[in-house]
Chains A and B, each alone.
Chain A
Amino acid sequence: MASPLDQFKVKCIALCGEGGQLQAFSFTNASLFMVLSVVGAVVLMVYGMRQRSLVPGRLQSVAELSYEFVANMVRENVGPNGRQYFPFIFSLFIFVLMANMLGMVPYSFTVTSHIIVTFALAIVVFLGITAIAIVRNGIHFFTHFMPAGVPMWLAPIIVPIEIISYLSRPISLSLRLCANMLAGHTTLKVFAGFIVSMIGMGGVMSASGILPLIMVTALTALEFLIAFLQAYVFAILTCLYLAEAVNMEHH
């Protein structure tokens, strides 16, 4: 039987080396599902909004709801200063959501279960927001590492601590998404494997295969929840970091 981790294997599709070896610019199943996520998002937005009817149809409803959802998130967490960054947050949210949801299709590949993918997203967020903070606040940005009201003699301890917790943001952001997807999909496969082996026990015992089947059904529902929740968490944390960058108070 295939290992539960086989689903995360990166396979070469095009531009392969000899014998299907991966090369630096190979088009892999990871690339394919990233492309599919982008295509899915574009189709949802462009095709869904093609009629622009006053009473939205199903697809238009989804497009409008997701727009409203992210717009509210940005408005509530970042405030009026965040308006111009809405397209970025929205793209991020829809991309992660699409990748997570496509990963729920049987036989598909979950891009977000690979730490390098989520880390690339997180580092773009981190560097981008740091750049925005420095451009908007100039040298004042560095007071972030020395909170107001902390006595001077604590500075040698507080400053490195603040710098470390600032630098750990991209790690925790990427790890959270990756770990959730990885753990969830592995659990699904492991329980699905139980079904096969319990049915294989033979005789009356085969009937017990129904138990892991129930479990897998429940877990699948939970996984859909997590797929949405993690995309939401990724977007809302980006909003919170952005809020710090654009709403830094000048003393």
Chain B
Amino acid sequence: MAEQDRPTAGSSDAEDPALAKLERDLQGVRERQAEEKAKRRPDADPRQTATVGKAWSLAIEMVAAVGVSVFIGWWLDRWLGTTPWGLVGFILLGIAAAMWSAIRTGMMMQRQQLADSERGAKKEGD
């Protein structure tokens, strides 16, 4: 039996016990890495930090839109003496603008992410 296990000259690589052992070891390392990756908290990943930055920039965009429209409304009211209607109208418009720009930015981020993951999948397939 033992003689059958021993590789003969000219046998294919797949039958080489040393290579088979290496393959088994590598498989073990891969599994361990995947386990560790799954265990790691998502915010420890540097790429996740960038995602937090994106979320921040969405929030700042919304605040900025409302801030700008409040300023315009207040200024128009002072100029035209229409207190408080300019402010009220522009706050509503500002909230709409904030929502709209947040949705647009979110859609853009999603497109980018999709394109990135497609590229990644392609690379792995090569």
A positions within 8 Å CB-CB of B: 157, 160-162, 164-165, 167-169, 171-172, 175-176, 179-180, 222, 225-226, 229, 233
Contacts and interface: CB of A to CB of B under 8 A. Distances in A.
Given A225-B46, A229-B53, A164 B60 contact: no
Contacts, number: 59
Given A175-B64, A176-B56, A176-B57, A168 B97 contact: yes
7 contacts: A157-B96, A164-B97, A165-B65, A167-B72, A172-B60, A172-B63, A180-B56
B60 A175 contact: yes
Contacts of A160: 93, 97
Given A165-B97, A175-B64, A233-B53, 18 more contacts: A157-B93, A162-B97, A164-B69, A165-B65, A167-B68, A167-B72, A168-B67, A168-B101, A171-B67, A171-B68, A172-B61, A172-B64, A172-B65, A176-B60, A179-B60, A180-B56, A229-B50, A233-B57
A225 B49 contact: yes
A16 B31 CA distance: 66
A165 B64 CA distance: 9
A161 B49 CA distance: 31
B96 A161 contact: yes
CB-CB nearest 7 A-B residue pairs: A172-B64, A171-B64, A164-B97, A168-B64, A168-B68, A168-B65, A165-B101
Interface in B36-77: 46, 49-50, 53, 56-57, 60-61, 63-65, 67-69, 72
Contacts of A171: 64, 67-68
Interface residues of B, number: 23
A175 B53 contact: no
A175 B63 CA distance: 10
A225 B56 CA distance: 15
A contact face: mostly helix, strand, loop, or mixed: helix
A157 B67 CA distance: 18
A166 to B, nearest CB: 9
Contacts of B49: 222, 225
Nearest to A164: B97
Contacts of B93: 157, 160-161, 164
B100 interface: yes
Interface in B79-126: 90, 93-94, 96-98, 100-101
Contacts of A233: 53, 57
Contacts of A157: 93, 96
Contacts of B97: 160-162, 164-165, 168
Contacts of B61: 168, 172
A169 B67 CA distance: 11
Contacts of B60: 172, 175-176, 179
Contacts of B68: 164, 167-168, 171
A46 to B, nearest CB: 32
Contacts of B50: 229
Nearest to A226: B53
A215 to B, nearest CB: 14
Contacts of B72: 164, 167
Nearest to B57: A176
Given A161-B93, A165-B65, A172 B100 contact: no
A233 B93 CA distance: 27
A162 B50 CA distance: 27
A180 B56 CA distance: 9
Nearest to B68: A168
Contacts of B56: 176, 179-180
